Structure 1
């Protein structure tokens, strides 16, 4: 970072309350109008303002999406997306995973119009990549939220502890370390090479 000017830098609010609570269409329009910031919504309708990712986080996230898409090309069923995609979940919250996969069954009935907007569904598989500004407890809570809304499998990739926290429907969360992590359920056969992800954090 450059040298500080000595000015007192104001802290922007991390959440916003808009009354009345925005409809799904209005929230999506708010996101489109403020495309330079990443917005999410709680089930109570509170707007969550997320900080932009640092370079290393975005580099690592690009690697995760690339590996997921290479696996998808082996069968070309369902759809893969990155962190720009928004989802309206059953509890009325709106979240954006860092990477996600929706199954062929989920995507098969979607229209062209629906695919141009936030989807009203929970992806079968989500990946969240912890950034330096994210408290681990907050990141783990988001994984719980994904599962509560119908996600079958979720991975929280934590480059700062070199671990992956695995959330799977009907099972207790677990933590794994190692050079790779193997998918199950909706992403059976997908193997994430963690060494390639961790390489984004080396100087």
Structure 2
């Protein structure tokens, strides 16, 4: 069987999967990485290669080390799926939620797919990703309540910074990034990929 080289999308309209049905679909297919857009499109994500996986983890480590020092929230890996308020079910490459917002969830909500929009998300474009789909995903995050997002684009050697109510800011790499008021004190120097 040929490997997937780009996400497979399935338009489920007029079907609407309940949270329980989507969760069961994910548990019945543990070898698949599934997401669902706010518009109801089911997305099967292909696995990523070694370079993308390494970059993703390195960026997540930087976020995790900052959070370990500040203890201001919780950091999540790309394996975490969030049930967003706008109906999307998404797995950012890394995410962060402010601690009081996380603690507001019940223990059961924390164990399952958390019904919350992260405060911060990070996405890294892999060779199989179409940039327009990732940009749509970043906008979907903002629409759901995400306060800051970074989309790293190694193919174009830039990073897109997403903030609510503003157009994306595109910076060439290398670049110094700030967590602004969302991630106070978090600074990240990003070399060219």
For structure 1, the residue ranges without an aligned partner over 5 or more in a row are 1-7, 199-203
Work out the number of aligned pairs and report it.
190
Residue 13 of structure 1 and its aligned partner are, at CA, apart by 8.4
User: Does the aligned pair in 2 maintain the 1:41–1:47 contact within 8 Å?
Assistant: yes
Question: What pairs with 1:187-198 in structure 2 (closer than 5 Å)?
Answer: 187-195=183-191, 198=193
Structure 1 residue 161 corresponds to structure 2 residue 180: no
CA deviations over 1:6-40 (Å, ceiling 9, x no partner): xx959798123387422112211211221222101
Aligned counterparts of 1:64 and 1:168: Cα–Cα separation in 2: 19
Other-structure match for 2:8: 14
Structure 1 residue 84 corresponds to structure 2 residue 53: no
- Runs in 1 of length 4+ with deviation above 2 angstroms? 8-13, 15-21, 42-46, 177-180
Residue 43 of structure 1 and its aligned partner are, at CA, apart by 2.5
Q: Return the match for 1:110 from 105, 111, 136.
A: 105
Distance 1:20 1:155, change over 3 A: same
Three-state SS of the structure 1 residue aligned to 2:69 is coil
CA RMSD after TM alignment: 2.2
Other-structure match for 1:4: none
Three-state SS of the structure 2 residue aligned to 1:113 is helix
User: Does the aligned pair in 2 maintain the 1:86–1:96 contact within 8 Å?
Assistant: yes
Aligned counterparts of 2:144 and 2:2: Cα–Cα separation in 1: 38
For structure 2, the residue ranges without an aligned partner over 5 or more in a row are none
Q: Which has the larger radius of gyration?
A: 1
Other-structure match for 2:25: 30
Residue 185 of structure 1 and its aligned partner are, at CA, apart by 2.1
Deviates more, 1:14-23 or 1:116-125: 14-23
Other-structure match for 1:185: 181
Question: What pairs with 1:142-153 in structure 2 (closer than 5 Å)?
Answer: 142-153=137-148
Residue 192 of structure 1 and its aligned partner are, at CA, apart by 2.1
Three-state SS of the structure 1 residue aligned to 2:86 is coil
User: Does the aligned pair in 2 maintain the 1:152–1:185 contact within 8 Å?
Assistant: no
Q: How high is the TM-score relative to the length of structure 1?
A: 0.85
The answer to which structure has the higher strand fraction is 2
Distance 1:13 1:97, change over 3 A: closer
